[in-house]
Structure 1
Amino acid sequence: MAETSRPQARRPRNRKAQLADAAAELFRKHGYHQVSVNDIARAAGVTGPAVYRHFRGKQDILAHVLLSGMDTFGLVTEGALATTGTAGDQLAALLRAVAELAVDRREITALWRWEGRHLAEADRTKIRHRGAELMAQWGIALRDARPELSKSDAELLCWATLSVYGSLSDHHTSPPRRRFEDLLVTLASAITSWEVPRGDPVPVPEPEPAPTTPGSRREELLTAAISLFRERGYAAVSMEDIGARAGMAGPSIYRYFPGKAAILVAGGYRMADRLARTAAHAMTLPAQEALHHLATSYVDTVLRSDNIMATFANELRNLPERDRKDLVRLQRHYVGHWYRLLRTVAPELPEPDAKVVVHVALTIVNDLARTPKLLRRPRIAAELTELAVTVLDAGR
């Protein structure tokens, strides 16, 4: 009897999408530089060479993930705004639809916020243009529902609302799905309905000056390094780059820091110390007053931090393991003050929901504080504080 040949397995038609989904989740969890093409292949159940049938390399995968994610976001936006009803009904439909998307696809907002700098310039340009189109759609929808808003105020509220959903990339807390979506809609609605207060301009706090002691050269290196890490990403910056930015060269750099990791560690501990001092004072106050003090002091610290906060959040995974664990512990201890105070003033609020609310408040501050256009607003420090407090109150 002739031997029957085994039919060849067919390659799935959606293999490219499978690879992109696997890559998106790995990038979200571990960061772009910590993920290899082989890691992506293993996660998708294929061999490394198979990836190159669909993509030129890891950078090409990231570009596809980001652009596909923005396309998905755009389709959700357009679908919600095409619903029948008033402008308010359409805005409500948009907030609900994006809440469902955010719970289902956390990695989309995570990659927009952290990894776009690794793209080629042509792809970055595409991302910027697509993002501008989406922001314009959101701004029009919000001003249709609230025609009294100026274009700049609507832009502030749109950025803050997007941060409500983007906050999901900063934690792993997951209340039951329907409750999770409802909570996000509640918080986003509080932002879109927020009355932008009027008042005299309040200057943005100046960054803390570097000491004028003999150790100030170390401070100059730290400042230069943090700025470069924020601009290019930790992996793309060398000690020579840092020295050049600080006006130093050669072995003299190593008299102050033994390497890049030590600089990143120093920045992380500096930020942790600043936050710990402000939290210690807040915890001596009544719970409601303490929450407001935490929001105010956090905004002040972030605006004075000279990019340390954003850089540390971005590059945490690049720290040596011992320091990473210690700094994560300090970070969690600080955020824990917010959880406990919120549950003190709202004891009926489930713990997972309280964590979601706190992360939304912190993310709004972090995101808007590194958006140059918004930092030019005359009352941005007060606005960031009030937006954070609005979220905390809405969460209750």
Structure 2
Amino acid sequence: MEKVCDYFPSDLITEIVQRISLETAPRMCSLSKEWAKSLWSKSLANPRILFMSPDSRNKTSHLWFHSVLQNKPPELWNKNQVMIPRLACPFQYISSQTVRGSICCYNKTGKSAILNPTRGVYKVLPKVIELGPADETHYSLGFDLESHVFKVLCLISRERESKTELRILNLLDENMHWRRVNHTALFTTHPSGICIDGKMYFGSHIHSIVSCFDLKKEELLTIKLPIWVKSYDNLVKVNGKLALTVKGSRPGARRIWTLEAAGTWSKLQYEIPPFAQNSLKCTYECVGTIGTDKFVFTPSSLLQEPLHVMYYEPKTSAPLKISINCAVNPPSRHVRAILDFVEVPNFSSTKD
């Protein structure tokens, strides 16, 4: 059977993909599995490390973006920079990852949106109803691999309640309304979810579990931590799998645990050595891997020195500090980094 790529060259497919709107893409996927495969093919992706920083110096809030091509050797990153214009939008908080080129963002008032940094557009989402003045909301974007639909999860922390409520929004629904999800008790200490293969994961190390939400079945499951792991720093994606970062056997070292397909934690762990003394002006967190085993750490505290990342390959002897030479410096000392950012179909043709 002939495939889409047999009819059209890859550069033409890429051009078509970049012009497709949010409303059109899922319908194309439902009509043709071959178009679905081509639409989301990894071969069309040119993944980057995306750096983001809020800019509130003017009356209008902006988001600052910068990126480098991550599949190049680190010493070539500064030669493969991609400049992204600032985006004016009233949202200060960004979820912890990009999903197929788009990001979920929100603000303290409970408003949320999906933005596409490359296109410089965002799509405002309906506001969640039944919120109290002291309730906290956190939003995370996910992708249902079966139906090729984006879904947004809203985690609601009620005042004086320890558990978290869950709402879900299907971006293909014509009515665009938030639905309640009946689920077991959800306790989160890391409310920004991470989406891997159609499942959203939320951290809750206080209760020694990881919460897993299946976007297709819309069911919530819990995964217990390894018995000898009492707490962890954060959840990341390592070699396509969910992973925990925990304290290592030496001061300043880190250990990485990965979740296998059977729901068990791998006994084969990565041990990341301590960073050099001259790199301890700020604290770092693991944001994932490039390729199979190239770990990237970025500052998790306010920047005390120029923008950089820590890069480590287990085959080498020590982590490397890689400077990111931006043509325009970040507007604030708070900079976040996300791996695997790609250009994919747009969410909206105009700013809302």
Normalising to structure 1: TM-score of the pair? 0.23
Larger % of helix: which? 1
Larger % of strand: which? 2
Q: Which protein has the larger Cα radius of gyration, Structure 1 or Structure 2?
A: 1
Normalising to structure 2: TM-score of the pair? 0.25
